[in-house]
Amino acid sequence: MARILILDPIAQEGLDMLAAAPGIEYEVRTGLKGEELKKSLAEFDGAICRSGVTITAESLEGNRRMRAIARAGVGTDNIDKNAATRLGIVVMNTPTGNTLSTAEHTFTLMLALSRRVAEAYHKLIGGKWDRKTFMGTQLADKTLGIVGLGRIGQEVAKRAIAFQMKVLGFDPFLSTEQAAKLGIERVETVQEMLPRVDYLTVHTPLTPETTNLVGFPELEVLKPGVRLINCARGGIYNEDALVEGLKTGKIGGVALDVFVTEPCDKHPIYGMPNVLCTPHLGASTEEAQQQVAIEAVQLLINFFTTGE
């Protein structure tokens, strides 16, 4: 029997598949950290997680049993992959399941930020019918910059084009021809894009190259009034620079779904005008969660039953 540990809540459809799989049994233990996590990981052959748990080198230390960890989602940054590799533990992810949901959430934030929906709603429920303060802007005829034109970035581009936006894209792995086919003008550097865009959205992992992609130096080059959206990973935009840019008025708006430190209950950006934040909800749809759970479970079933 291969024993699978479920470390974060996943969709019931995935649990049902595990229950029906011959030679596999599972147990759900969520909210684990420290010694408790380490002890649990040592009792199982495989694990499934989302981003709630952080599997550190310490939590894997001395583990002789765990053979595979499947991440129900894209980013594996909450798993110490070097430590896992040293111990021969395979780390897998499900890169496609939440593409559309994350692209849609990016668009949700872009639209809601442009029309100051959250701020207007808060004022309204506070008893103020204010039609003057919340003057918005249209997306049509504005320029959107997209950094990272993988699955999610491309879906965002398609939606932006449908909204009559001009799209500039930066991605070293996408050719000018491929970009043109998608209706995107490819730029050679992010720097080149910054003075030209009214909206900027990022769809890359957090790497040394993408950390602080927009920071204090970039504030100087950004087009005044630019709106920045991040549904990828906290830290791609420097959070202090965002606060500063909003204060000086250089930045016209910021929408964040992700933060340097998560969970993030308090942040200087919360409550600032022209800001909209959500608690890492990009992939939080019924469809995406069902899909990533099914894909993650299938990966482990294959691994433990067919050795693939």
Residue numbers annotated as active site: 233, 262, 280
Q: How far is the CB of 78 from ligand MLT (least distance, A)?
A: 8
Q: Are 45 and 66 in contact (CB under 8 A)?
A: yes
Per-position x/- string for 239-278, each x denoting binding to ligand MLT as judged by CB under 6 A, each - no binding? ----------------------------------------
Q: Is 51 in the site for ligand MLT (CB under 6 A)?
A: yes
- Using CB under 6 A, pick the residue from 75, 136, 150, 215 that binds ligand MLT: 75
Q: Positive or negative CA dihedral for 191, 195, 197, 200?
A: positive
Q: How far is the CB of 264 from ligand MLT (least distance, A)?
A: 14
Q: How far is the CB of 75 from ligand MLT (least distance, A)?
A: 3
Per-position x/- string for 274-293, each x denoting binding to ligand MLT as judged by CB under 6 A, each - no binding? --------xx----------
Residue 220 corresponds to which tokens in the numbers above? 């100087």
Q: Which of 7, 92, 33 is nearest to 301 (CA)?
A: 92
DSSP code string of 58-121: HHHTT--S--EEEESSS--TTB-HHHHHHTT-EEEE-SSTTHHHHHHHHHHHHHHHHTTHHHHH
The site that binds ligand MLT (CB under 6 A) totals a number of residues, namely: 8
Q: Is 187 in the site for ligand MLT (CB under 6 A)?
A: no
Q: Is 136 in the site for ligand MLT (CB under 6 A)?
A: no
Q: In sequence order, what are the residues at sequence separation of 6 or more whose Cβ sits closer than 8 angstroms to the Cβ of residue 179?
A: 149, 169, 171, 185, 186
Q: Is 235 in the site for ligand MLT (CB under 6 A)?
A: no
Q: How far is the CB of 282 from ligand MLT (least distance, A)?
A: 6
Q: Is 74 in the site for ligand MLT (CB under 6 A)?
A: yes
**Which residue's CB atom is positioned nearest to ligand MLT?**
73
Q: How far is the CB of 39 from ligand MLT (least distance, A)?
A: 25
- Walk across the sheet containing 2-6 and list its strands: 24-28, 2-6, 46-49, 68-71, 90-93
Buried b (16+ CB within 10 A) or exposed e, 278-307: bebebbbbeebbbbbbbbbbebbbebbeee
- Give 8 or 119: the residue with its C-beta nearer to ligand MLT: 8
Q: How far is the CB of 281 from ligand MLT (least distance, A)?
A: 9
3-state helix, strand, coil in the chain (%, to 5): 35, 20, 45
What gap in Å lies between CA 96 and CA 201, rounded to an integer?
A: 19
- Using CB under 6 A, pick the residue from 73, 153, 234, 245 that binds ligand MLT: 73
Per-position x/- string for 90-109, each x denoting binding to ligand MLT as judged by CB under 6 A, each - no binding? --------x-----------
Residues in contact with ligand MLT by CB under 6 A are 50-51, 73-75, 98, 282-283
